[in-house]
Amino acid sequence: MESQLGLNLIEQSFNVRYSLWVREALDELPDSFTITDPSIAGHPIVFASKGFLKMSGYSVEEIIGKNGRMFQGPKTNRRSVMEIREAIREERAMQISILNYRKDGTPFSMLFHVCPVFGKEDGRVTHFVGVHVLILKKKRRFSSGFRRDGGCLCEDDSGFRETLFGSCRREVCTDSAVEFDRISAMDLVLESDVREVEIDEHCEASDAEKRKATTAISNILSVLSHYSELTGRLVCGKRCCSSETGLLVSSLNVPLGRIKQSFVLTNPQVPGMPIVYASDAFLKLTGYSRHEVLGRSCRFLSGVDTDLSTVLQIKDCIRNEQPCTVCILNYRKDNSPFWNFLHISPVRSASGKIAYYVEVQMDKCSQNKDEHGLSPEIRRHSVVGAVKVAVRSLSMASTSRS
């Protein structure tokens, strides 16, 4: 059931935002790239180009739904990985050289250019595009110290001579051996003039490779922008929304995605307190898809028999910035009712200001201990605690950088 839910979310990641022809248009681009969705737990890959499949050696079935960590290996620079995570957390574009691994285990150096894609109507990050440009290894000719005109070996290149004839003891080297040394070395020089030898160095992308990545990003964003116009849900490469929406930054999706209970985060700074995050368990409980939930007030769960006095009790607690727990009749997408044991609690940033409200939902029918023996109260408190830790950690990190 969970795997099927994940596949549905990946399908919706494109089907809701773009027209059905977008995948075909992206497949026509020659570049190697992936597209990920930060709103889905685990930040999975939702599209991989044919160029990337060829570069990595994986099939599309092996990549879709997986995190980009699968391409890292023992020699991948941890600092580079942290810089990529930092850019994603801050929702900004960046380029960096990094060592990745193909399916068969062979390493390759590449220039990774990651860029966020923003919804034009609200400024929310909808996807991240990651372009992968193979870095061609630098080449260097070995210097022997011999010239084509028969010149002598330079003193500072005597190590090359020693390498070639290190097995010969100096005291037994004859004139013939010296002559052989001279002729053989000259032959090597002539050969190396024609055939360059590749050597491994610390690979940095060339200006041409950087321009190639930038051009690829521009082409991909152009395709996404065009096919988003056909659905009316426009995207762009920069945050186009001029008003402050107080959206959830994408970096919170990682820690929040690990929480398996049903909950949502709402933004009290925006009129109507819209939902800015909804867990997978919440979607499963209510029957709604993510795009049908985000940006809406939780009032959409109320129905004809929802008790108005309970609704007013919730509003009073929020107005007084106090937590509350109620039992309220809510409705799923298919209009089936369920009794919701709802717990609402303010979530404060490191400065003490209320950043969000977390709302934990629990169907009355499941008001018993879970598989780990945890009571509903403990489960609710664990969700609230985990959310508070994630929000405060993020705000503290932001404060320390500023």
Is residue 400 exposed (0-12), middle (13-18) or buried (19+ Cβ within 10 Å)? Answer: exposed
The whole-number pLDDT of residue 189 equals 38
pLDDT the model gives residue 369:
52
**Maximum pairwise Cα distance, the chain:** 109
Specify the pLDDT at position 143: 45
pLDDT at 85: 87
Single pTM value for the model:
0.53
Please state whether 170 falls in left (phi above 0), alpha (psi between -120 and 50) or beta: alpha
Q: Set out the domains of the chain in order of their start, with CATH numbers.
A: 2-137+202-236 (3.30.450.20), 139-198 (no CATH), 250-401 (3.30.450.20)
Per-residue pLDDT tens listing for the chain (402 residues): 445 555 677 877 888 888 889 999 999 999 999 999 988 878 899 999 999 999 999 999 999 999 999 999 999 999 999 899 888 877 889 999 999 999 999 999 999 999 999 888 777 888 999 999 999 875 544 444 444 444 444 444 444 444 434 433 344 344 444 444 444 444 443 344 433 333 344 578 899 999 999 999 999 999 999 999 888 888 888 766 444 444 566 667 778 888 889 999 998 888 778 898 899 999 999 999 887 888 888 888 998 899 989 999 999 999 999 999 999 999 999 999 999 999 999 998 877 889 899 999 998 766 555 555 567 778 888 889 989 888 887 766 555 554
Q: What confidence score (pLDDT) does residue 255 get? A: 84
- On the 0-12 / 13-18 / 19+ scale of CB atoms within 10 A, 278 is buried
Q: CA of 252: how far to CAs of 29, 249, 331, 377, in Å?
A: 32, 6, 28, 24
Q: DSSP labels for 29-54? A: S-S-EEEE-TTSTT--EEEE-HHHHH
Token pair for 252 = 């919170």
DSSP 363: B
> In the prediction, which pLDDT does 251 show?
66
Residue 196, pLDDT score = 36
DSSP annotation string for 172-232:
G--HHHHHHHHHHHHHHHHHHHHS-EE--------HHHHHHHHHHHHHHHHHHHHHHHTTT
Q: Nearest to residue 359, comparing CAs of 246, 252, 292, 278?
A: 278
Provide the pLDDT for residue 293.
Answer: 86
Give the whole-angstrom CA distance, residue 336 versus residue 320.
Answer: 32
